[in-house]
Amino acid sequence: MILSKYIPSIEWLKNYNKADLKGDLSAGLTVGVMLIPQGMAYAMIAGLPPIFGLYASTIPLIIYALFGTSRQLAVGPVAMVSLLTAAGVGVLAEGGTAEYITLAIALALMVGVIQFALGVFRLGFLVNFLSHPVISGFTSAAALIIGLSQLKHLMGVDLDRSSYVHEILLQAVEHVSATHLPTLMVGLGGIAVILLLKRFVKAIPGQLVAVLLGIIVVWGLGLADSGVKIVGDIPQGLPSITAPNLDLSVWQKLMPTALAISIVSFMESIAVAKAIQSKHRNYKVVPNQELISLGLANIFGSIFQSYPTTGGFSRTAVNDQAGAKTGLASIISAGLIVLTLLFLTPLFYYLPKAILASVIMVAVFGLIDLKEPKHLWRSNKTDFVMLVVTFFATLALGIEEGIATGVILSLIMVIYRTTKPHMAVLGKVPGTRVFRNIERFEDLETRDDVLIIRFDADLYFANINYFTEQIEEMIEEHGTESLRVVVIDAESINHIDSSGVHALEQLITDLKERDIYLYLAAVKGPVRDSLHMGHLIEKIGEHRFFLTKQGALDHIDRVLRGEDSSPRFSEYTLQTNLHD
């Protein structure tokens, strides 16, 4: 039992159902075939030779299949993490050099260790701080950057590496006359093939067809000699074992990138894993175990020359649709890549880089999300602004800075919102015991001697001044002549801190000086506890707590009619006034 908590694959391994084999085999092969062009293309985004995309498609898949909690998640190289790798390693070394490769592999090790540690210390909840609008804005901007970063391969010109959209576009415009036409034709042809097959013949994997057609065309027409850039020699054989030997200062420089990749890749992975799991229900995705398994996949991957990997959107969807039932599918995919590495790499000698660029562009431009901003524009302006700010911050400040801006901004908004919360004066719905905001509902009953106020937030240090000032204002508006009781409807107060207790105490004292009594209605358990602990309940012994607002009103009436012997409302009973 405990073992299968840490190695979830035991569950499906020990009772493997032969009926699942067909689906696993078909899904495994389909994803494997997708992985060949995607792996090479994503390695190119990361600034690595294409072969490293294939290396990253072996060990990590197998490790995740054993330790992961999702049975359909397809782990491997993905576009976003590849771009983050390029952005982080690109400032430390020249793309494609031995040093660059060493750094990218070291980065996988760091990401793995960070994710593993986050999982062990159960910090998976941190991912909760990424809101949907922030993710959407960030993804669209990153997709734009990734897509445009491939312009140089599509146009067949040399452009400086940049992750700023305006710089890329400016350079592209400057070099537009140098465009290598045969390269452009091949690239556009690739895009056309992928889009057409995607639209009309879904069963055929467009990316693979584009790759094969590209190889045949370039080889057949001898386009490599006329300047179409090709992948060239790919070393045959499996990845070898490496241990990065770097200065401490280099590790330190990689740290911000490693942190960003750890969080972003976990986020992408857990989102897709949960979406797929909700369709299956025969297993449960456990966030912290996901961190541990992705961490192990990256650690062992890096030992075998893999750069950072994670669970990706597109291949996971294909894996599921093709019938994957267990992690065996991923192991089969990895097996196909191993066979490719052993025997098929010479096939890709003539693969034009423009085709890989077309694979990337189609994939990532599909990630640009226009629906969400449109939807938010109509439904939630604050979240719309959050999305747009994150989008432009990512474009203008950079990948990691963009996501950090989004997260910090959304947390500030959370705080800000609670500093000036919604407050309402309540009236009674005639003939019921229900109370509603007098500004939202018509014909509510109110009375001159009682003012009922609802405070719609936790009462804590950042809003106690607002709380006091607003109540003061509401009392003034109501008029103090015949006012005898203010009832605070505390049903929305989920928490009160020591500053809140102080403020309430002060309010009671201030009101008492004007011969107005404070009642509290519908105080929740945790708040009641805090009031008890703060000795507020004893201090204000002559005030009462009521389960409901109606209970408070009934009590006031009894006192006014002289039926209640406590003119000072002096009896405090918490448990016993249940029936008020």
Contact positions vs a second copy (CB under 8 A): 125, 128-134, 278, 287, 375-376, 378-380, 382-383, 410-411, 414-415, 417-422, 424, 429, 431-434, 436-437, 440-441, 456-458, 460-466, 491-492, 494-495, 497-499, 501-502, 506, 510, 524-526, 530, 533-535, 547-548, 578-579
- Least Å distance, CB 232 to a second copy, is 46
- Least Å distance, CB 109 to a second copy, is 29
Q: Count CA within 13 A, CB hemisphere, residue 23.
A: 17
| Residue 232 φ then ψ, to 5° | 80, -155
Q: Are 218 and 186 in contact (CB under 8 A)?
A: yes
- Least Å distance, CB 382 to a second copy, is 7
- Least Å distance, CB 40 to a second copy, is 35
Closest to a second copy by CB, 179 vs 465, is: 465
- Least Å distance, CB 135 to a second copy, is 9
- Least Å distance, CB 358 to a second copy, is 33
Closest to a second copy by CB, 535 vs 568, is: 535
Q: Count CA within 13 A, CB hemisphere, residue 8.
A: 22
Closest to a second copy by CB, 166 vs 532, is: 532
Single-letter code of the amino acid located at 350 = Y
Q: Are 134 and 407 in contact (CB under 8 A)?
A: yes
Q: What's the rounded Cα separation, in Å, for the pair 372 and 380?
A: 11
DSSP bridge pairs for 435: 428
DSSP bridge pairs for 455: 423
Closest to a second copy by CB, 78 vs 130, is: 130
Closest to a second copy by CB, 375 vs 447, is: 375
Closest to a second copy by CB, 453 vs 457, is: 457
Q: What's the rounded Cα separation, in Å, for the pair 23 and 440?
A: 56
Closest to a second copy by CB, 220 vs 525, is: 525
- Least Å distance, CB 274 to a second copy, is 9
Choose among 333, 300, 328, 329: nearest CA to 11: 328
- Least Å distance, CB 139 to a second copy, is 15
Angle 328-339/313-321 helices, nearest 10 degrees? Answer: 110
Closest to a second copy by CB, 246 vs 547, is: 547
Give all strands of the β-sheet with 545-546 in edge-to-edge order: 435-437, 423-428, 450-455, 485-489, 517-521, 545-546
Residues in the chain: 580
Q: Name 459's Cβ contacts closer than 8 Å, sequence gap at least 6.
A: 467, 493, 495, 496, 497, 500, 503, 504
